[in-house]
Chains A and B, each alone.
Chain A
Amino acid sequence: MAGLNHTLALKKNLDQRARERFTSSLRAYTLVDLADQLRSDYSEEQTAVEHPHQSGEDVHRFLKSRDLFKWYSSLRCTAQELVWQSTLRALDEDRTTLAGLSGVTQVAPEKSAVGGSLALDPKLSLPSYIDTMDVHLMPGNYQGDREDVSVHPGAVYDNGLEVFSFGVMGEHLDDIGHSMANFTRLRWPGLTVDTVVDVGCTIGHNTLPWKQAFPDAQVYGLDIAAPCLRYGHARAESLGVAAHFRQANCDQLPFDDGSVDVVFSSMFLHELPRNVINDFFKEAYRILRPGGLIIHMELPPNEALAPYDAFYLDWDCFYNNEPFYKEFRDLSYPALCRDAGFDESAFFQATLPRYTYVDEQEFRDAIDRTASFDEDTGRLSDTITWYAFGSRKQG
């Protein structure tokens, strides 16, 4: 674990760093070693059965009472709690690194060393679902309490994700962004990309790669959580990348009709109630110009997965405070795009290796193949492949 590589990284003493290394190792052990065992025990038992399981629910029902499942799940929850606990402790102990970042609500591009900006909207009304549950056991969720004027939830997310991802999500936790931006660049070489909007950007870690892949574009990161945006802006400044952070609800995007080339989201849709997903898709359609692209990096749909793989990914919905996760993954993604106005024939999906871990030729080869689904699709490990889907607006 190299640690975060920018000036906002919390200072951690020897013991804190060791504690984080331990948590990362524990997660790798649980998610790789134990998970492999869970899978192989299951397939061994299931080889000769007369009525194989048809769905993820079947597998879940079957495994629930198994000791190994309990063991795996309990350890996984504990590891998840340790991720945030070590970060909160670092935050309690380091009083200097983030001092001075609180309270900022507006930064104009002229005031930014790199030409980025921040615009928070204190009057925005926040939906109630964000207060009822701390997503993935993260104390305080993305927004802290509603009056939070600090950057702390953003710092918890950034430092926590670093431990959580045990080194498989890229140098700046930004491989998803690089993979999606470069997929777009390579797959549609003729596409004009002047304006990119990343919706549900949290701290902008997957927003900035769009600016790096399309240096002339205006790149926006939108989210509902002010503390994450405040942190994301400071983080972008520290990394020297110009991006514009805006507080907004995805059901009302602050852009004119037909004014945007790419609407992007990453690991976002599965955290939204169904009606908000629909509203967001309609808004995305509205702000895209004819020919514009909508691209979502997400977990693969259950319909594409073998029952065991569906069960495996849905674990989070039941045990990791992801209440909307399964309902989303049970949807038909092509229908979601179609219902928002996109032409059915324009639907695309892809499964991609991690851009910053492979050479460009290997990445290009994957673009040319049709999407294929297996146990690596969306399952955090060092062989993970990212899943993406989307469409283009006619015209």
Chain B
Amino acid sequence: MTQHSKTVRGGRPAFFDSPETDRLLAMIVRLLSEQSVLAERVKTLETLLDQLGVLTAEQIEQFTPSPQVDEAWMQTRMQLIKDVLESGANIEGSTK
């Protein structure tokens, strides 16, 4: 698939003392965008399931994971926390 270039001739400006801060902000915003996309996909599914009579919104709200499922999810959560908070740990001078 050919991709159209995202390069902007003339560039875009930075505003903070370090341009890296602008870059980080752009990344956070992009993540926020993906979070919004995912949330809307979940809501789409829930709405359709409800409309088709498969599940009601109430059933979804009432859901509690079984102890095994709860344990598995906890592992995943911990892994996510480590993955995110420990990334960048190799950066010299950053908090270990």
Asked whether B37 is an interface residue with its Cβ less than 8 Å from the other chain, the reply is yes
Interface residues of B (CB under 8 A from A): 1-10, 12-16, 21-22, 25-26, 29-30, 32-33, 36-37, 40-41, 44
A19 contacts B33, C-beta separation under 8 Å? yes
Question: Which partner residue on chain A sits nearest B32 by CB separation?
Answer: A22
A82 contacts B33, C-beta separation under 8 Å? yes
A-B contact count (CB 8 A): 92
Contact for A88 among B4, B13, B36, CB less than 8 A: B4
A84 contacts B33, C-beta separation under 8 Å? no
With the chains together, A98 CA to B38 CA distance in Å? 28
With the chains together, A318 CA to B15 CA distance in Å? 12
Contact for B33 among A22, A138, A139, CB less than 8 A: A22
With the chains together, A139 CA to B25 CA distance in Å? 21
**One of A112-120, A129-137, A266-274, A290-298 at the interface:** A129-137
B5 / chain A contacts, CB cutoff of 8 Å: 139-140
Asked whether A312 is an interface residue with its Cβ less than 8 Å from the other chain, the reply is no
A318 / chain B contacts, CB cutoff of 8 Å: 13
Residues 79-102 of A contacting B (Cβ, < 8 Å): 79-82, 84-85, 88, 91-93
Contact for A75 among B6, B21, B29, B40, CB less than 8 A: B29
B1 contacts A18, C-beta separation under 8 Å? no
Asked whether A255 is an interface residue with its Cβ less than 8 Å from the other chain, the reply is no
With the chains together, A348 CA to B76 CA distance in Å? 67
A81 / chain B contacts, CB cutoff of 8 Å: 6, 8, 12, 26
Q: Smallest CB–CB gap between B38 and chain A, Å?
A: 8
Residues 50-92 of A contacting B (Cβ, < 8 Å): 69-71, 73-75, 77-82, 84-85, 88, 91-92
B6 / chain A contacts, CB cutoff of 8 Å: 81, 84-85, 88, 139
Count of chain A residues with Cβ under 8 Å from any Cβ of B?
40
Contact for A131 among B9, B14, B36, CB less than 8 A: B9
B40 contacts A18, C-beta separation under 8 Å? yes
With the chains together, A88 CA to B26 CA distance in Å? 18
Interface residues of A (CB under 8 A from B): 14-15, 18-19, 21-23, 26, 69-71, 73-75, 77-82, 84-85, 88, 91-93, 131-134, 137-141, 152, 156, 318-319, 321
With the chains together, A370 CA to B40 CA distance in Å? 47
With the chains together, A319 CA to B8 CA distance in Å? 13
Contact for A21 among B1, B13, B40, B41, CB less than 8 A: B40
A73 contacts B15, C-beta separation under 8 Å? yes
A19 contacts B37, C-beta separation under 8 Å? yes
Contacts A81-B12, A82-B29 given; does A140 touch B4 at CB 8 Å: yes
B8 contacts A134, C-beta separation under 8 Å? yes
B10 contacts A22, C-beta separation under 8 Å? no
B10 contacts A74, C-beta separation under 8 Å? no
With the chains together, A22 CA to B15 CA distance in Å? 23
A93 / chain B contacts, CB cutoff of 8 Å: 1
Question: Which partner residue on chain A sits nearest B1 by CB separation?
Answer: A92
Contact for A139 among B7, B15, B26, B29, CB less than 8 A: B7
Question: Which partner residue on chain A sits nearest B15 by CB separation?
Answer: A70
Q: Smallest CB–CB gap between A10 and chain B, Å?
A: 12
With the chains together, A387 CA to B96 CA distance in Å? 56
A78 contacts B26, C-beta separation under 8 Å? yes
B29 contacts A77, C-beta separation under 8 Å? no
B10 contacts A321, C-beta separation under 8 Å? yes
Q: Smallest CB–CB gap between A394 and chain B, Å?
A: 42
With the chains together, A84 CA to B5 CA distance in Å? 11
A138 / chain B contacts, CB cutoff of 8 Å: 8
Contacts A82-B33, A140-B4 given; does A15 touch B16 at CB 8 Å: no
Q: Smallest CB–CB gap between A324 and chain B, Å?
A: 13
Q: Can you name 13 A-B residue pairings with CB atoms under 8 Å?
A: A15-B37, A18-B36, A22-B32, A22-B36, A70-B16, A74-B26, A77-B22, A78-B30, A81-B6, A81-B8, A133-B10, A138-B8, A321-B12
B33 / chain A contacts, CB cutoff of 8 Å: 19, 22-23, 26, 82
A78 contacts B29, C-beta separation under 8 Å? yes
Q: Smallest CB–CB gap between A30 and chain B, Å?
A: 10
Question: Which partner residue on chain A sits nearest B25 by CB separation?
Answer: A74
With the chains together, A15 CA to B9 CA distance in Å? 28
A152 contacts B25, C-beta separation under 8 Å? no
